[in-house]
Amino acid sequence: MLKPLIDLHGEPRNWATAAPLYIEALSDIPPELLAIAVRHAISSNPYFPKPADLRLSIADELREHRRRRDDEYRARLPKPAELPPPTEEDIAYVDALLAPMKAAMRDKSGNRRFGA
């Protein structure tokens, strides 16, 4: 994917050590978006771009790609089971659990709105 940049700018001096870093830094970018970034770099950069330069040129497209991917993933997830409404017993149990906290808040604030 980066060959057009090498053809244009020449191989960077430290390419043997830098190439694995480029591969790692760009590995999450789909090939079609990386091709767009390379074309952009060829037309606008007077130097061999760093991975961050390539990523920056397609930041919006990459964000949209991830959003679509995540939406598709969520659409494939099973729908959660419908929960029944709480029973009077459930409500009484939670009220009993919260009563000490409500009393402490009432005592600290002097405000009666935390339940009587």
| pLDDT single digits (tens) 3-39 | 999 999 999 999 999 999 999 999 999 999 999 999 9
Q: Enter the tokens of residue 107.
A: 């005592």
How far apart are alpha carbons 21 and 54 in whole angstroms?
A: 13
Are 60 and 102 part of one and the same domain? no
User: What's the pLDDT tens digit per position in 65-75?
Assistant: 999 999 999 99
- Are 19 and 56 in a shared domain? yes
pTM of the model: 0.64
**Same domain flag for 55 and 7:** yes
Do residues 102 and 115 touch, judged by C-beta distance below 8 A? yes
Q: How many CA atoms lie within 13 A of 55 on its CB side?
A: 12
| Shared-domain flag, residues 11 and 56 | yes
Quote the number of domains for the chain: 2
Domain that holds residue 22: 3-76
Q: Are residues 16 and 72 in the same domain?
A: yes
Domain co-membership, 62 together with 33: yes
User: Could you tell me if 11 and 65 lie in one domain?
Assistant: yes
CA–CA separation, 10 and 5 (whole Å):
7
Same domain, yes or no, for 70 and 112?
Answer: no
Distance in angstroms (rounded) separating the CA atoms of residues 96 and 110: 21
Between the alpha carbon of residue 69 and those of residues 45, 47, 58, 89, 94, the distances in Å are 30, 33, 16, 43, 39
40 and 11 together in one domain: yes
Q: Which residue has the tokens 């767009």?
A: 36
